[in-house]
Amino acid sequence: MSAPETMAPVPVRRRFHPAWTVAAVAFLALVGAAGFRAAPGVLMVPLQNEFGWSTTVLSAAVSINLVLFGLTAPFAAALMERFGIRAVTAVALVLIGAGSALTVLVTQSWQILLTWGLLIGLGTGSMALVFAATIANTWFAKSRGLVIGILTAGSAAGQLVFLPFIALLAQDPGWRQASLLIGAGALAVVPLVLKFLKNSPADVGVLPYGATPPAADASTGLASTESTESIGPETAEARRNAAVRALQVLKRASKVRTFWALVAGFAICGATTNGLIGTHFIPSAHDHGMPETTAAGLLAVVGLFDIIGTIASGWLTDRFNPRILLAVYYQFRGIGLLVLPLLLSATVQPSMIVFVVIYGLDWVATVPPTAAICRQVFGADGSVVFGWVFAAHQLGAAAAALAAGAVRDATGQYTYAWFAAAAMCTIAAVISATIRKDARKPESVPVPA
């Protein structure tokens, strides 16, 4: 006897789709989590002045943070599948808040490795850009590129909101108050997450935004309950174990050439954003006589134009070939880094404003097309695959942050670091341009039955 068919739940029709409420809360959560992203470059000099720590020591703390930021991401994506988006996001924000607040108690260099590195690294890793991809893939059937662009801009908005205040507080009354501000910003979002950030459309009885209701079976009149994603026993077990799920996805993706192309490009992306500009732009500008608050203001402008650029990139990703977009973004970034040593001075010149605007538009514009390629090639595994690709982004950032600090200590300037980053961007542009257009058909990795 065949198993009895069950009536699929009838989606509730609503004028305002709850997916947009979820996206709005996710945006605020990313803003709250992004406070620390702006902190190291601003707080590095005050910490050096108070404790006498070298640039290499503080760069190591940032590198640990960036490594954990990246390696946590794919497991966080799987944890969100296992325990829900809301629970993982709330815990991540609490870790960021605790790590930032405890920083005010540090007296030894190993303690800054624990707070900046371990606690905040785990928290920000769980709130990484894979969070934006998970929200978009779970709640939206159309306009995913635009949504990922908007959510990714939340990180830029966090930098924009916090950076000027952190810079001012770091000077008067001091860096400890700046750390407390970051912690308060992360914790303030937790109540909104717990109340409004639903785990899936099924929780509120709706389909993803833009999805069409399943067709009814002609013989029974019942809506089909068959999922578009076939999950066999192995995959079902993996979904119950987040670590196994993440590692199985990595094993499957590692057999696909497109995965390694995305990994290489995104590692360079991380090196040239979070690793270099995000960590060392302010100290480098300070070396040229520019006040820290002025340099922080320039980074805030980068954040402002990053919002515009990332949303525009999401819109473009919905309409154009993402591999071509990636190649263009990386090459423009390389040109900017090549000329940066010529632009740094004690005062802000018009040429520096041009650099800040262009670099801001390009800052994380790479995220929507990269996430789109992951979704196209890897299907149901796309969010977790993007988590692994993002891990490469942060590993690249960690290596660049540490290497640039060592270059500064060895040579007294950052010039060679900027030139090396420019060369890497050209490599990333070539790699991205050579990703095959038809990658989805020959390389698609099905979910095993």
Distances 267 to 53, 115, 422 between C-alpha atoms, Å: 28, 24, 14
Which of the pair, 252 or 78, is modelled with greater confidence? 252
Confidence of residue 319 (pLDDT cuts 50, 70, 90): confident
Closest to 369 measured CA to CA, from 244, 261, 287, 289? 261
The pLDDT assigned to 37 comes to: 67
Mean pLDDT rounded to a whole number for the chain:
80
Alpha helices in 318-414 (DSSP H): 322-343, 350-362, 367-378, 382-411
The pLDDT assigned to 324 comes to: 92
Q: What is the DSSP letter of 35?
A: G
Q: For the segment 11-23, what is each residue's pLDDT rounded down to a tens digit?
A: 455 567 888 899 9
Q: For the segment 333-365, what is each residue's pLDDT rounded down to a tens digit?
A: 999 999 998 898 888 888 999 999 988 888 878
Domains of the chain are 18-201+237-442 (1.20.1250.20)
The helix (run of H) or strand (run of E) holding residue 283 is: helix 279-287
The pLDDT assigned to 222 comes to: 41
Q: Above pLDDT 70, what percent of the chain?
A: 85
Confidence of residue 130 (pLDDT cuts 50, 70, 90): confident
Q: pTM here?
A: 0.68
Q: Is 140 helix (H, G, I), strand (E, B) or coil?
A: strand
DSSP characters over 86-120: HHHHHHHHHHHHHHHHHGGG--SHHHHIIIIIIIH
The pLDDT assigned to 215 comes to: 52
The pLDDT assigned to 28 comes to: 87
Q: For the segment 149-201, what is each residue's pLDDT rounded down to a tens digit?
A: 888 777 766 766 677 777 777 776 678 888 888 888 888 889 999 988 888 88
Confidence of residue 44 (pLDDT cuts 50, 70, 90): confident
The pLDDT assigned to 231 comes to: 33
pLDDT surpasses 60 at 115: yes
Q: What is the DSSP letter of 256?
A: -
Confidence of residue 54 (pLDDT cuts 50, 70, 90): confident
AA identity, residue 66: L
What is the Cα–Cα distance from 186 to 102, expressed in whole angstroms?
Answer: 14
The pLDDT assigned to 443 comes to: 43
Tokens of 22: 């979820």
Which of the pair, 86 or 10, is modelled with greater confidence? 86
4: Cβ–Cβ under 8 A, 6 or more apart, which residues? none
Tokens of 372: 């789109």
Question: Phi and psi at residue 140, in whole multiples of 5°?
Answer: -130, 130
The answer to whether the beta carbons of residues 32 and 189 sit under 8 Å apart is yes
Confidence of residue 119 (pLDDT cuts 50, 70, 90): confident
Question: Phi and psi at residue 365, in whole multiples of 5°?
Answer: -65, -15
Count CB atoms within 10 A of the CB of residue 260. 15
Count CB atoms within 10 A of the CB of residue 347. 10
The answer to whether the beta carbons of residues 303 and 357 sit under 8 Å apart is no
Alpha helices in 5-118 (DSSP H): 18-33, 39-51, 55-83, 85-102, 109-112
Which of the pair, 5 or 110, is modelled with greater confidence? 110
Q: Above pLDDT 90, what percent of the chain?
A: 14
Which of the pair, 7 or 293, is modelled with greater confidence? 293
Q: For the segment 252-304, what is each residue's pLDDT rounded down to a tens digit?
A: 999 999 999 999 999 999 899 878 888 888 888 888 888 878 888 888 788 78
Mean pLDDT of 323-340: 92
